[in-house]
Copies of this chain bind each other. A is one copy, B any other.
Amino acid sequence: MERKCRVALLTSGGDSPGMNAAIRAVTLACEQHHYECIGFYHGYNGLMDDQAVNLTSELVNPYLQQGGTLLKSARCKSMLLPEGPKQAANTLNKHNIDALIVIGGDGSFRGMQALSHHWSGQLIGLPGTIDNDLAHSDKTIGFATAVQTATEAIDKIRDTANAFERVFIVEVMGRHSGHIAFNVGLATGAESILSFENFDPEKAQAYVEKLAVQIQQQQNNKHSSFLIILAENLWPDGPSGLQQALKQTANIDSGVCILGHIQRGGSPVVEDRLLASKLGLAAVQAIAEKQHLVMLGEVGGNLIATPIENTIQDPKPVSMYWLNAHEEALKGF
């Protein structure tokens, strides 16, 4: 009897909605290919500590609609130290794993690179992060849900901002890129979007002065509220720093909201369920095709395999189209 191919799977780094849909798709595709499918809990930590679970359609099916990750996740610094990858390789060898699928972000992919020096199996990456900061896939798994969640939250803030004709500064996630900020800002009709792409911290004061003029112009025109979407990790001292600067510069009062971790959870929107399902199927197909050290992504509607090192090195800029659209027309005042 022929030996079955054995596929392992883990989720690593910040969890994102749709990871469960990807786990489900990998599991179902393995069943179809007659592969064994083994999950490891807690990301690379669980791989090093051998926290394995057999994945079956019966186990994973109910998770399609759920946020988080049934395999748990973790950030794991020791994968970038000498011992971590060796331990991980030991576990994989012990379980006779042929291929490992890692769902995560760039840190997780660096772990794959490190592991590749100590383990000879196939390594396939899937882009799973709400921040959308991985090149070679138009969107990452979880991004669409995070943007939808933030947008719905800001729609609510708009209600109370309108009632008080008030300025609000809303901080959204995104790590070091403005994908969430720009998508959310355009979807909510924010009057200002402030992110890495259009802000130079050395010119913060000039920006505040320009913003103050915009706010005062709009309030003179009787528009009822003014929302500023602010990317996290951008403004010195965060949103309350901007709040104080507006107060000191132009005596403008504003409220602050930090959306925080609500952007990370929740049932995935359709777009994430489908992207995750598609990439999960493709990952098992890629294993069958003997691919190695690639990330699978969707670009312009097509599935693309890109060497892992490129996904780590290459930037993923926010579309200038949206930047310009907002600067020129879509501000709503």
Interface residues of A (CB under 8 A from B): 11, 14-15, 17, 24-25, 28-29, 31-32, 57-58, 61, 64-69, 72-74, 138, 144, 147-149, 151, 153, 155-165, 168, 183-184, 186-189, 221, 223-224, 255-262, 264-267, 269-271, 273-274, 277-278, 281, 300-302, 321, 325, 328-333
Contacts and interface: CB of A to CB of B under 8 A. Distances in A.
A318 to B, nearest CB: 13
A328 B153 contact: no
A58 to B, nearest CB: 7
Given A15-B164, A57-B333, A260-B257, A159 B266 contact: yes
A57 B278 CA distance: 36
Given A258-B260, A265-B158, A189 B64 contact: yes
Contacts of A269: 148, 269
B271 A15 contact: no
Nearest to A73: B163
Contact of A270 (B15, B28, B147): B147
Contact of A277 (B147, B156, B186, B259): B186
Contacts of A257: 258, 260-262
Contacts of A144: 270-271
27 contacts: A14-B160, A28-B332, A32-B328, A32-B329, A57-B332, A58-B221, A58-B223, A61-B223, A61-B333, A64-B332, A65-B155, A67-B156, A68-B163, A72-B164, A144-B271, A149-B156, A151-B270, A153-B262, A157-B262, A157-B265, A160-B261, A160-B265, A161-B261, A186-B277, A258-B260, A277-B330, A300-B301
Stoichiometry, as copies per complex, reads 4
B265 A72 contact: no
A133 B311 CA distance: 35
Q: Which 5 A-B pairs have the closest CB atoms?
A: A159-B265, A300-B300, A156-B265, A67-B159, A68-B159
Contacts of A325: 277-278, 281
B164 A74 contact: yes
